[in-house]
C-alpha cells in the first residue's frame, strides 16, 4: 500500500496554480488586481511574446515592506482580510492570498517594492526567496518570466503568441473599463498598444470600445435603494453578430453571470431580433454583503443573495433606458 505523506509547499502551490494560473492572461489579471488593490494611480504593463516570455507590471501603489516581501509569496498570506466578517463584505479584488504563491511556483518571479517611508526598494526572488536592495522610486514591480518553465506538461497547453496576447489584451480592457480613475498603459513586444490617461467613464469607454459605440449607446444611471446600475448599452443599430462587446461588472469586478446576462437579454427582446447581440458596459453596485465573490478561484462567477430582486432591477432599469431612447428616436423621426 502506498504511504500517505504531506506534499511539499512547492508542489502544493503548483497544484493550486492549476486553478489560478490557467494562462498568461490569468497571471496578468492577478497582478493587475493587486496593483489596483494597492491604491495605484498609474499602472504600466509590459508583455513579451503574448505574456509567455514576460509579464511585467509596475505600479505606484502602497508598496510592500521589506519584512513582508517573503510573506507576500506565501500561500494563504494576505493583507486584505483577517476574519469571516471581512470575507463576507470584501471590498478588494483579492482576498484569497494565493495568487503570488501560485505564480511564483510556475514562473520565474521577482517582486521589487518600495513601501511608503522606506529609504529604498527591495527585491525578492520568487524561487530562492533571497532579498536584496534595489532601485525603485515608489510602488511595486512584479516581473513574471517564462511561464511554466518548470511544468512542461502545462506549457504544452499554451496557444500561439497571438492568442495568448489577445487574452491578455482582453483582461487589460476589463480592468481599464472598470477603473477610469487609474492611468493604464499596455505594451506588447516593446510597442505601446494602449495608453489610457485618467478619464471619466464615458471617455474611458470610448477609448476602449470605440467612438461609434459611445455615439450609438445610451447612458444609464439608475438606483433602487442599495442597488445602482450605471454604464452604457448599445441601441439596436449598433448590435453585433457576436457577444464580444459585453462587459458586466459587479462592484468593480468583471463577471460572467447567467442571471445578469438573462436580465440584459430580456430587456432587448422587443428591440433586437434574430441572432444579433447588444454591446454594453454595465456596472452594478450593491452592498458587498449581498454578493458572494468567493465561488470561483478566479472570481469570475458570483452568487447573489437576492437574485430575483437583482434580475428585476437590472431588467427594468435597462428596459426603461432603452424605451426612453426608442421614444426619443421615434419623436425625432416624426418631427
Instruction: Give the Å distances, CA to CA, from 310 to 33, 260, 300, 313, 328.
Output: 26, 8, 18, 5, 27
Shortest Å, Cβ 138 to ligand ADP: 11
* Residue 93, all three cell numbers: 479584488
100 part of the interface to ligand ADP, by CB under 6 A: yes
Closest CA to 279 of 223, 205, 332, 330: 205
34 part of the interface to Mg ion, by CB under 5 A: yes
Candidate ranges 73-81, 179-187, 216-224, 243-251; the one touching ligand ADP (CB under 6 A): 73-81
Pairwise CA distance, residues 8 & 11, whole Å:
5
Shortest Å, Cβ 317 to Mg ion: 31
Q: Which does 64 bind (CB under 5 to 8 A by kind): ligand ADP, Mg ion, none?
A: ligand ADP
Cβ proximity to ligand ADP: between 55 and 205 the closer is: 55
Cβ proximity to Mg ion: between 78 and 325 the closer is: 78
* Residue 231, all three cell numbers: 454604464
Residue 6: how many other CB atoms lie within 10 Å: 7
Site track for ligand ADP across 105-124, x = CB under 6 A: --------------------
Pairwise CA distance, residues 36 & 175, whole Å:
9
Pairwise CA distance, residues 128 & 115, whole Å:
22
Return the residue of 99, 147, 178, 186 that touches ligand ADP, per CB under 6 A.
99
99 part of the interface to Mg ion, by CB under 5 A: yes
Shortest Å, Cβ 244 to ligand ADP: 28
Say what angle helices 258-268 and 307-334 make with each other, to 10 degrees: 30
Shortest Å, Cβ 79 to Mg ion: 10
Pairwise CA distance, residues 107 & 109, whole Å:
6
10 to 39, contacts with ligand ADP by CB under 6 A? 30, 34-35, 38
Inter-residue contact 277 to 241 (CB < 8 Å): yes
Inter-residue contact 53 to 107 (CB < 8 Å): no
**Binding-site size, ligand ADP (CB under 6 A):** 23
Cβ proximity to Mg ion: between 78 and 239 the closer is: 78
Shortest Å, Cβ 99 to Mg ion: 4
Residue numbers at the binding site for Mg ion (CB under 5 A): 34, 94, 99
Amino acid at each position: 500500500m502506498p504511504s500517505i505523506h504531506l506534499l511539499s509547499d512547492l508542489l502544493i502551490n503548483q497544484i493550486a496554480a492549476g486553478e489560478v494560473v490557467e494562462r498568461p492572461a490569468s497571471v496578468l489579471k492577478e497582478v493587475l488586481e493587486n496593483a489596483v488593490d494597492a491604491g495605484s494611480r498609474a499602472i504600466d504593463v509590459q508583455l513579451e511574446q503574448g505574456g509567455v516570455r514576460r509579464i511585467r507590471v509596475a505600479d505606484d501603489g502602497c508598496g510592500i515592506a521589506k519584512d513582508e516581501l517573503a510573506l507576500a509569496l506565501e500561500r494563504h498570506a494576505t493583507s486584505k482580510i483577517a476574519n469571516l466578517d471581512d470575507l463576507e463584505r470584501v471590498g478588494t479584488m483579492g482576498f484569497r492570498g494565493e495568487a503570488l504563491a501560485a505564480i511564483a511556483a510556475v514562473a520565474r518571479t521577482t517582486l521589487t517594492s518600495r513601501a511608503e517611508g522606506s529609504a529604498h526598494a527591495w527585491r525578492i526572488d520568487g524561487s530562492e526567496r533571497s532579498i536584496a536592495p534595489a532601485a525603485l522610486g515608489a510602488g511595486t514591480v512584479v516581473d513574471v518570466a517564462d511561464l511554466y518553465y518548470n511544468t512542461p506538461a502545462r506549457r504544452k497547453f499554451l496557444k500561439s503568441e497571438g492568442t495568448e496576447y489577445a487574452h491578455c489584451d482582453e483582461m487589460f480592457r476589463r480592468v481599464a473599463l472598470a477603473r477610469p480613475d487609474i492611468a493604464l498603459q499596455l505594451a506588447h513586444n516593446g510597442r505601446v498598444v494602449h495608453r489610457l490617461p485618467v478619464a471619466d467613464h464615458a471617455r474611458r469607454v470610448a477609448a476602449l470600445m470605440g467612438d461609434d459605440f459611445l455615439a450609438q449607446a445610451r447612458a444609464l444611471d439608475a438606483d433602487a435603494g442599495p442597488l445602482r446600475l450605471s454604464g452604457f448599452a448599445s441601441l439596436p443599430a449598433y448590435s453585433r453578430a457576436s457577444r464580444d462587446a459585453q462587459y458586466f461588472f459587479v462592484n468593480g469586478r468583471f463577471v460572467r453571470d447567467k442571471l445578469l446576462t438573462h436580465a440584459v437579454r430580456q430587456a432587448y427582446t422587443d428591440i433586437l431580433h434574430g441572432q444579433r447581440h447588444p454591446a454594453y458596459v454595465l456596472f452594478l453596485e450593491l452592498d458587498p454583503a449581498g454578493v458572494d465573490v468567493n465561488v470561483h478561484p478566479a472570481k469570475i462567477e458570483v452568487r447573489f443573495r437576492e437574485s430575483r430582486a437583482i434580475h428585476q432591477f437590472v431588467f427594468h432599469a435597462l428596459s426603461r433606458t432603452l424605451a426612453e431612447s426608442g421614444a426619443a428616436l421615434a419623436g425625432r423621426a416624426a418631427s
